[in-house]
Amino acid sequence: RLLKLSVLIRPGSLKTLKKAKFNGCDFLSLNFGKLSKAMEKFLGKWKSTKVENFDNFMKAMDVGFILRKAAAMATVYLDYQKADDGTWIIDWQLAFKKGQIRFQLGQEIDAVLPDDRSVRLVPDFDPATGRYSELQKGKPHDVKVERWITEDGEMQELVKIIDKDVQYTRVYERY
């Protein structure tokens, strides 16, 4: 019996492709080490230093006045880690709240975000642009997050509501 499998592979993301035999059958082994390796520049601790248009974004997300004002004044801390099994971990802290997301790139997960939204989160990384991204599927709106490291070593964050023309930006520095 013959099984055909089509795989779409982002250019530059495949580390090794090996052909092997097992129980008389041919199979291919794919290693996406380069994709994960390229994202390692995010590893470490980050502290937000600047945010723009956050209040308008939070209004569009139906967040109340008091919570918006408190969130706007809070410093966001992110800690990117990578476990031995390739699982990525992002610990976040905001004022008196802490949380964590654990994921494999490209695999959809359930997550609770700092604003208490429960979402289906799809993490990805594009080695061509050096951008980490998250698609956050949930209410009241789906959101796209992109983060990248600038030449001067800052991490930039762009967060957009997918079905509205509203976004905010945030800058992080290592600490």
What CATH number corresponds to the domain at position 64?
2.40.128.20
Confidence band, pLDDT 50/70/90 cuts, at residue 173? very high
Return the pLDDT at 36.
60
Residue 77 maps to a domain: yes
Q: Which residues contact 24 (CB under 8 A, 6 or more apart)?
A: none
In a domain, 9, yes or no: no
Structural domain count of the chain: 1
Over residues 61-75, the mean pLDDT reads 90
Name 168's bridge partners.
159
User: Is the Cβ–Cβ distance between 145 and 111 less than 8 Å?
Assistant: no
Q: What is the C-alpha R_g of the chain? A: 19
pLDDT digits (tens, 9 = 90+) for 70-102: 888 899 999 999 999 989 999 999 988 899 999
The arithmetic mean of pLDDT across residues 95-117, rounded, is 91
pLDDT the model gives residue 72: 86
Position 95 scores a pLDDT of 80
Taking residues 44-67, what's their average pLDDT?
Answer: 95
Distance separating alpha carbons of residues 42 and 149, to the nearest angstrom:
7
Q: Please give the residue that has the higher pLDDT: either 114 or 24.
A: 114
Residue 102 lies in a domain: yes
Instruction: Quote the pLDDT of residue 15.
Output: 45
Q: Is 165 a member of any domain?
A: yes
Whether the ω angle into residue 123 lies within 30 degrees of 0, i.e. cis, is: no
3-state secondary structure of 97: strand
Mean pLDDT of the chain: 85
Tell which residue, 113, 138, 123, has the closest CA to residue 88.
123
Three-state DSSP class for 94? strand
In a domain, 91, yes or no: yes
The identity of residue 78, as a single letter, is L
Residue carrying the six token digits 């800052």: 154
Q: What is the pLDDT of residue 24?
A: 58
| Residue 30 reports pLDDT greater than 80 | no
Per the structure, the complete domain to which residue 160 belongs is given by: 36-174
Output the DSSP codes for 22-82. ETTEEEEEEE-HHHHHHHGGG-EEEEEEEEESHHHHHHHTT--HHHHHHHHHPPEEEEEEE
Residue 152 inside a domain? The answer is yes
Residues 21-47: b if buried by 16+ CB within 10 A, e if exposed: eeeeeeeeeeebeebbebbeebeeebe
